Structure 1
Amino acid sequence: MLQKFGVVLALAFLLSACSPKLDWRTVQSPQEGYSALFPGKPEKIDRRLPYQNQEIPQTLEAVKIEDDIYSVSAIRLSKEQASLAPNLLEQVQGNLFGRANVNQETAVGVDALYRTANKQRVATKDYFLEFPSSGRVEQSMRVRWITRMTPDNGVWIYQISVLHTAPARVDAKTFFSEEAYSNFFDEFHPE
């Protein structure tokens, strides 16, 4: 009996060692101007956002690991569309804050730093959101927005986020401060 327990324990350990949660990889996205550290191989989706009678290109790279979805969204505005960036960013943020029944002033946020590809440190802010309960599941999110100019005077708007869905509510700020989540945010590097 003890020997069988040892074999089962060894198998469980080996399976956990192969867990996708441990499969961290750097993903280079030169077309979107960034590199990111994902906990698994992300899926990539390209789409076009209708905005003010225009089609704005957006790319989403995301991976689901257990109860979490790690994602990076990149919206590309051309030089001619660059003036749309502040209002588009405000709308994107407002949609997410609205789902959490907060606004930018009342959302739980902390000052943070990100590092560009050339190692420059830049100030940003992370937000910790808890969405209204559906009764069966609870959702919370850590999200960061970064806006960067492109060499041709266009603009990138990046949204880096982790969405956690589980049966029980978690304190978003405490939960998303764990190393696995911090690594994802700390290792996102725009050009």
Structure 2
Amino acid sequence: MVQKLGLVLAFALLLSACSPKLDWRTVQSSQEGYSALFPGKPEKIERKIPYQSQEIPQILEAVKIDDDIYSVSTIQLSKDQITLAPKLLEQLQGNLFGRAGVNIESAAALDASYQAANRQRLSTKDYFLEFKSTGAVEQSMRVRWITRITPDSGARIYQLSVLHTAPARVNAKQFFSEEAYSNFFDEFRPE
């Protein structure tokens, strides 16, 4: 009987180890200039976004785990496009804040920091958004933007986010402070 119980417990432990929630992996994205800790293998989508009559490359790496989508978006700007960075970032933020019915001053925020690849700690801000309800589902998001100058004098704008979709509203700031979400944000390392 004890042997059967031990076998059942061992089997349960093996199953939980195979759970996607526990399948954390470091993704090295040298082309986009970062490493990130994802809770599963992300899918990669490349596209060009039109902005001020230009085509700007954007790469999105994302993974869906249960009710959550973890994603890192990278917008690459050449040295000739670097002057677009502040307005482009403002537009990206404005789009999300607008969907949540807030602005950058009224959005729930928390001072944060990240570690660059050279181990330097830099300050940033995390925003916690609760989007307007569509009826059957509620959406919340934790999002962070980081702008880094590239070695060729261009820039990359990173958007890290976790989007949570579920039937019930959550307190975004409290919900996204859990370890599974904090790990994703804390382990992002841009060059």
TM-score, with length taken from structure 2: 0.94
1:68 corresponding residue in structure 2:
68
Q: CA deviation at 1:139?
A: 0.5
| Aligned-partner Cα distance in 2 for 1:187–1:4 | 40
What code does the residue aligned with 1:175 have? F
Q: Which residue of 1 aligns with 2:20?
A: 20
SS for the counterpart of 2:85 is helix
**Aligned alpha-carbon RMSD (Å):** 1.7
Q: Within 5 Å, which residues of 2 pair with 1:66-145?
A: 66-145=66-145
Q: Could you say which residue in structure 2 is the equivalent of 1:57?
A: 57
Mapped pair 1:146 → 2:138 = no
Question: How far off its partner does 1:15 sit?
Answer: 2.4
1:173-184 matches, within 5 Å, as 173-184=173-184
Residue 8 of structure 1 and its aligned partner are, at CA, apart by 7.2
Residue 46 of structure 2 corresponds to 46
Counting aligned pairs with the same residue, the percent is 78
Deviation of 1:135 (Å): 1.3
Q: Return the alpha-carbon distance in structure 2 between the equivalents of residues 43 and 153 of structure 1.
A: 28
Kindly provide the CA deviation profile for residues 30-77 of structure 1, in whole angstroms up to 9, marking residues without a partner as x: 110100000000000110000000000000000000110000000000
* Structure 2: 5+ residue stretches without partners: none
Unaligned runs of 5+ in 1: none
Which secondary structure does the structure 2 equivalent of 1:75 belong to?
strand
CA distance in 2, matches of 1:6, 1:165: 37
Which amino acid is 2:43 matched to? E
State the match for 2:33 in structure 1: 33
What's the TM-score, normalizing by structure 1? 0.94
Query: Any idea what SS the aligned residue of 1:94 has?
Result: helix
Letter in 2 for 1:125: K
For the residues of structure 1 that align with 2:12 and 2:168, how far apart are their CA atoms?
25
Q: Distance in 2 between matches of 1:178 and 1:152?
A: 37
Q: The residue matched to 2:157 in structure 1 has which SS?
A: strand
Aligned residues: 189
Runs of 4+ with >2 A deviation: 3-17
Distance (whole Å) between structure 2 residues aligned to residue 8 and residue 163 of structure 1: 35
Deviation of the 1:17 alpha carbon: 2.3
Partner of residue 171, structure 1: 171
Q: CA, structure 1 residues 11+136, in 2 after alignment: closer, same or farther (shift >3 Å)?
A: farther
